[in-house]
Structure 1
Amino acid sequence: MPVYNMLHAFACVSGAVGVAFGALGAHALKNKLNPQQLAAWSTGTQYQLLHSVALLYTVSHLPIVGVASGPYLYASYAFATGITLFSGSIYGLCLTKEGAGIRKLLGPATPLGGISFIVGWAILAFAKRPLVR
């Protein structure tokens, strides 16, 4: 599958999951999670949705056929990584009990995902910069 198709599909599925998880948090989980967990869940869904749209933007700058490279590809990977690590780890932390072994992996994944988001935005800041020759 060409990278354009893969990243485009990831962005669309991520957007759908973000909406579904937002509804899940607002309805099914509101009596199961404490207020801090609900706030974290909401942050995870908001960042997931925002960066799914950002990912669609970056993917729209990639060639549909041929080899993709350059800042938009790197920003796309950064956003996809950020969605997975940041939002995914927040969901996992909210749904697992204190002391569960997986939490040792999920906790450090959250800031790594945040850094991935920052890297994606930084790459975009320079994407349209004229090349110095």
Structure 2
Amino acid sequence: MKRKIIITAAVFGALAVIAGAFGAHGLEGKLTPKSFEVWHTAVQYQFYHVFALLFLSTLTRYKTGLVKNCYNLFTLGVILFSGSLYLLAFSQMFNWQVMNFIGPVTPLGGLLLIGGWVTLGIAALTNKFV
């Protein structure tokens, strides 16, 4: 499990750096300020959860399903939350009509991220992490 979490964090981290650099250098002037802010938010939250996953990887020695649940919630949350924000930012540039699809996905991703943090807290309360 530890290896899987670290690999996921590494992939998300690399993609966040690529997305951040692409946003700063490739999208400058091509997105509205609002869409650029949406892009930036997606990169930020993706990076935050890279660090959360790396921390979570240190807890895998505690045999608890909560760590696995937390991993799943963070991973799916990043994909849905940041992924939908990336699509939303691009939708303006390419005039895509994605709001009907993306509208409910972003908050669902956010709820999964919150669920991951709550699960991490429950894991800490119910286990003696030393």
Q: Which runs of 5 or more residues in structure 2 are unaligned?
A: none
| 1:28 match | 26
Structure 2 letter corresponding to 1:119: G
CA distance in 1, matches of 2:57, 2:21: 27
Q: Secondary structure at the match of 2:26?
A: coil
Report the TM-score when normalising by structure 2: 0.85
Cα distance in 2 for residues equivalent to 1:110 and 1:36: 16
Q: Which runs of 5+ in 1 are unaligned?
A: none
1:52 lines up with 2:50 in the alignment: yes
Aligned-partner SS, 1:27: helix
Paired residues, what number?
124
- 1:80 aligns with 75
Give 1:94's aligned residue.
Answer: 89
Over the matched positions of the two proteins, sequence identity in percent amounts to: 36
Give the whole-Å Cα distance in 2 for the aligned partners of 1:5 and 1:32: 38
Paired position in structure 2 for 1:127: 123
Asked if 1:115 corresponds to 2:111, the answer is yes
* Structural RMSD (CA): 1.8
How far, CA to CA, are the matches of 1:114 and 1:126 in structure 2?
A: 18
Given that residues 59 and 73 in structure 1 are in contact (C-alpha distance below 8 angstroms), is that contact kept between their aligned partners in structure 2?
Answer: no
How big is the shift at 1:98?
4.4
Runs of 4+ in 1 over 6 A off after TM superposition: none
Distance in 2 of aligned mates of 1:82 and 1:49: 12
Pair 1:61-2:59 in alignment:
yes
Contact map agreement 1:58 1:73 (CA 8 A) in 2: no
